[in-house]
Structure 1
Amino acid sequence: MAVATRGWDRRHLPLIVTAVLLVALYSGALVFYDSTRSLRFLVDLIKGNAAMGICAVGMTFVILSGGIDLSVGSVVALTTVLVGTLVAGGYHPLLALGVSLAVSAAFGAMTGYLIHGFSLPPFLVTLAGMFFARGLAFVVSMQPVGIDHPTFDWIVDELGFSLAIPGLDRTWVAATALLFLVVLALGVILSRSTSFGRNVLAIGGDRQAALLMGVPLGATTVWLYALSGLCAGLGGVTTALIDSAGKPNIGAGVELEAIASVVIGGTLLTGGVGSVVGTLMGVMITGIVRAVLNLDGRLPSPWHHISIGLLLLSFIVMQQVLIRSARRAS
């Protein structure tokens, strides 16, 4: 009696490799470094990569559609400066946060409109957006702006929860780590359980076929980049909470780290294949590499970038091999 089996899609191989690599890195850290054998290490890993990780969630959707967003780091800086300036000007922190997030989402929506409305390359439009948002951040304030307000201090020091797991220590999960986890959960739901997520995958898989199927390319593109802008804004809010300041020069390179985490997480640069869960694994891999280098102390900090560069190059080569193999098979 023949049993029907579902064929395995080789395009998901990068995600499997990512999972194996994450387990191997974390296991190695547990074996060689005592300080990693605690709940606090894991929570600090999430907290320390929260801003970049939130940006990476938005970047996942952009890359899934076959696009790119180079303006993320600059939008992070613009958001922090807006929050700091508004709070220093006497506005309530919650209002400052709301206004800053609205600006970041609107910035992303305008980017999406330009890309679709004028059939412009996402690389060039977001590159221009990177310079524009960075310049705008310096226009708002040439110097760092300190944030001093009771509500802001309460968010930083009190908003969160105490986490305890049997056999491990008790640790505090701060608001920044909590925000990262919430954004991740919402990203998973948005990608898997909504028509928007399915439309993004359809556009990334085959844009012409998506158009023939009735996918609203214009609206999806605008909302897609608005989401990326909003995530960058949330990354800026996280950065402002951590630093208690708005800094116009912060966030340089965040977009590149976010792209690296997304690709290492198994999302194809050509679009159509990937997941937010994979991005989480990519963020954790880059975070563990940084943490291990800091704990070891024998290699200088530039080796973090060298390691991530080598990992990224390996995953890009793997993707190209899989794409060419799929083309030959078809």
Structure 2
Amino acid sequence: MSASIAPVRSRTASAQSLSSWVRTRLDTLPTWAAVAIFVVMVVYGEVAYGRIVQMNTVTNLLINNAPLIIIAVGMTFVIITGGIDLSVGAVIALTSVSGVMLINAGWNDWVVVALMILMGSTFGLMSGVLVQYFSVQPFIATLAMMFLARGLASMLSTVPERLPDNASMSLLATKFKIIDGPKVNDFVITPGVIIAIIVVLGAWFVLHRTRMGRTVYAIGGSEQSALLMGLPVHRTKMWVYVISGSLSGLAAVVYTSRLGIAQNITGIGWELDAIAATVIGGTLLTGGVGYVFGSVIGALVLGLMNVLITRDGGVSPAATTIITGGILLIFVLLQRAVYARQRE
């Protein structure tokens, strides 16, 4: 009898252990779901259209989505604290137009790059001040900054501004061959992609290896508790918006260097793409949970979706918005289910 009971107890203990392991990692479920969706999209694309699993597709995916990855990282900081930043697209437009106009006026390219990032930081700082010291809701504060930046960009120019052919900023879009594949199937990389990778690694380090990162998560979990613990809540909330604004300026640099054109309509809807990438990657909209690498996966999911729609040819580009909304809705519902399960 005892011999037959022992295996049953062992299986029960194993099941309980597995259940406990799953419960403690429920907050990572949306991120793994995003990874699964990305893999399914890759497999579907390869079966349906072919030439998806190859080096030049990966290259184009990284190069085209480097700006989105950068602003999604900034959005991750903001959303983890329970906030939101709707100004990123407009800030990209303003900094891009301003930067190209300054370069055309004879300013040094690298000084202009620094000014573009600083301009983004300034808008982030203004959003942080409104949120922290004037108790304005993040949605309203960043919406005001969005209208301000978009209006200033339209005042500066209503026609496309082009970088000079010899602009040093264009070096950030220079392609370096890493792997020499057959025919045109090469793996290449640009300084813009390297910048995006550095941003991702730096953000991961800040969020998971510094006191500021722990404070960011604590604010999202419970701001009052974070204050009672003596954490620098006010300073950290200011910093997350400054980081988001700065990365918007940096994304504008990477984007402008690749296209060579700046317009006042640049970045329309990018804030929604950044939010979608962040949420798809597992960052909880109510704050307290979020992963930088998850946001990168979310950005790549959106980028690959555009590739598949382009390859199909029969799907209207307008459907991209509908599909993005559907995916976002699924992940929001998944987050709610996970959150409810954790409360139990």
Both structures adopt the same fold (TM-score exceeding 0.5): yes
1:305 equivalenced with 2:321 (yes/no): yes
SS in structure 2 of the partner of residue 163 of structure 1: strand
SS in structure 1 of the partner of residue 188 of structure 2: strand
Cα distance, 1:156 vs structure 2: 4.5
1:12 equivalenced with 2:63 (yes/no): no
* Superimposed CA distance per residue, residues 214-256 of structure 1 (whole angstroms, 9 cap, x where no aligned partner): 1111110111100000111111112211221221111100000
| 1:1-330 to 2 correspondences below 5 Å | 7-148=23-164, 150-152=166-168, 155-156=171-172, 158=174, 160-164=175-179, 169-327=185-343, 329=344
Cα distance, 1:67 vs structure 2: 0.3
Give 5+ residue unaligned stretches, structure 1.
Answer: none
TM-score (norm 2): 0.89
| C-alpha spacing 1:269/1:34, structure 2 compared with 1 (3 Å) | same
- Larger mean Cα displacement after TM superposition, 15-24 or 168-177: 168-177
Structure showing greater radius of gyration is 2
Would you say the 8 A contact 2:170–2:257 is kept in 1?
A: no
| C-alpha spacing 1:11/1:239, structure 2 compared with 1 (3 Å) | same
Would you say the 8 A contact 1:113–1:218 is kept in 2?
A: no
| C-alpha spacing 1:120/1:157, structure 2 compared with 1 (3 Å) | closer
Distance across 1 between alignment mates of 2:32 and 2:173: 38
Distance across 2 between alignment mates of 1:83 and 1:122: 27
* Superimposed CA distance per residue, residues 104-132 of structure 1 (whole angstroms, 9 cap, x where no aligned partner): 11210121111001111100000111000
SS in structure 2 of the partner of residue 36 of structure 1: coil
Cα distance, 1:205 vs structure 2: 0.9
* Superimposed CA distance per residue, residues 284-321 of structure 1 (whole angstroms, 9 cap, x where no aligned partner): 11111110110111211112111111000111111222
Cα distance, 1:157 vs structure 2: 5.4
Distance across 2 between alignment mates of 1:200 and 1:311: 27
Give 5+ residue unaligned stretches, structure 2.
Answer: 1-9
Distance across 2 between alignment mates of 1:40 and 1:130: 35
- Larger mean Cα displacement after TM superposition, 305-314 or 16-25: 16-25
Would you say the 8 A contact 2:42–2:53 is kept in 1?
A: no
Cα distance, 1:185 vs structure 2: 1.8
Question: Would you say how many aligned residue pairs link Structure 1 and Structure 2?
Answer: 327
* Superimposed CA distance per residue, residues 239-276 of structure 1 (whole angstroms, 9 cap, x where no aligned partner): 21122122111110000000001001111001111100
Aligned residue type for 1:163: I
Would you say the 8 A contact 1:83–1:97 is kept in 2?
A: yes
- Larger mean Cα displacement after TM superposition, 44-53 or 28-37: 28-37
| C-alpha spacing 1:154/1:166, structure 2 compared with 1 (3 Å) | closer
| C-alpha spacing 1:317/1:244, structure 2 compared with 1 (3 Å) | same
